[in-house]
Structure 1
Amino acid sequence: MASMARSALRSAVTKAKSVASTPKRSFSSQLHDDAHETAKWEKITYVGIVGCTAFAAYCLSKGHHHSPDPPAYPYLHIRNKEFPWGPNGLFEVKHTEHDH
């Protein structure tokens, strides 16, 4: 049983070594295709960047529409009673005459 496991392990290691030691073949047409694809996408990227920049400059140079002030809605900031700390802010320092 142990010898069977050893021989299976040995054959797996031998196969792994032979696969790892085999050099990859590179075909000249494949290298040409990769260079062509890289050049194509580089050009597309530059055109996209220049196009987006030009479009943004055009849109930002036109100015923008200012809408009139919204009407005062009476229900937004209703406070009918004083704050517990008074009309001033909670964290404001109150100066007295003898502090100066």
Structure 2
Amino acid sequence: MSLLARNALRTARHARAYTSTPTPGAQGYLAERAALEHHAAETSDLWRKISYFVCFPAIAVCAAWVYNAEAEHKQHLDHLRSQNEGNLPEVPAFEYLNKRTKPFPWGMNTLFFNPYTNKNMEE
């Protein structure tokens, strides 16, 4: 028997009969799947509402609070500068502040040194 005829015969023997009506066992599966999809839709709707009505307002309130705190801090630093001819007052030279036994590879200041806000350790 040729290869094509043998494969055709084998396929015909194992062919499935598809039906448009689900079997009784499939009814339970379909009902369970529909209940699962309904639950997923309710849960995703709940978390969407939590995101919109809880998380986003909380983020806005925190952002406003931080903005106000930083504005007060900047106002205080500007006040100190105005009293000291444009410079921040000298930080007390306590032994335990900025103790370095050897410099960094790029110098005595930290990698994120900002001369507007930090004390220059190379002076």
TM (normalized to structure 2)?
0.43
Q: Which residue of 1 aligns with 2:61?
A: 61
User: CA–CA distance in 1 between the matches of 2:40 and 2:30?
Assistant: 15
RMSD: 2.8
Cα deviation code 1:58-79 (max 9, x no counterpart)? 2213414243486438xxxxxx
Q: Which residue of 2 aligns with 1:22?
A: 18
1:4-23 correspondence to structure 2 within 5 Å? 4-15=2-13, 18-19=15-16, 21-23=17-19
Q: Which residue of 2 aligns with 1:40?
A: 39
Alpha-carbon shift at residue 14 of structure 1 (Å) = 1.4
Structure with greater Cα Rg = 1
Structure number with higher relative contact order (C-alpha < 8 Å, ≥ 6 residues apart): 2
Residues 25-34 or 42-51, more deviating: 25-34
Work out the number of aligned pairs and report it: 69
* Unmatched runs of 5 consecutive residues or more in structure 1: 74-100
TM (normalized to structure 1)?
0.51
Cα deviation code 1:15-57 (max 9, x no counterpart)? 46x22x3336362222221111011111110110011112111
Q: How much identity, in percent, do the aligned residues show?
A: 4
* Unmatched runs of 5 consecutive residues or more in structure 2: 78-113, 118-123
User: CA–CA distance in 2 between the matches of 1:15 and 1:41?
Assistant: 41
Q: Which residue of 2 aligns with 1:72?
A: 116
What is the letter of the counterpart of residue 56 of structure 2? A
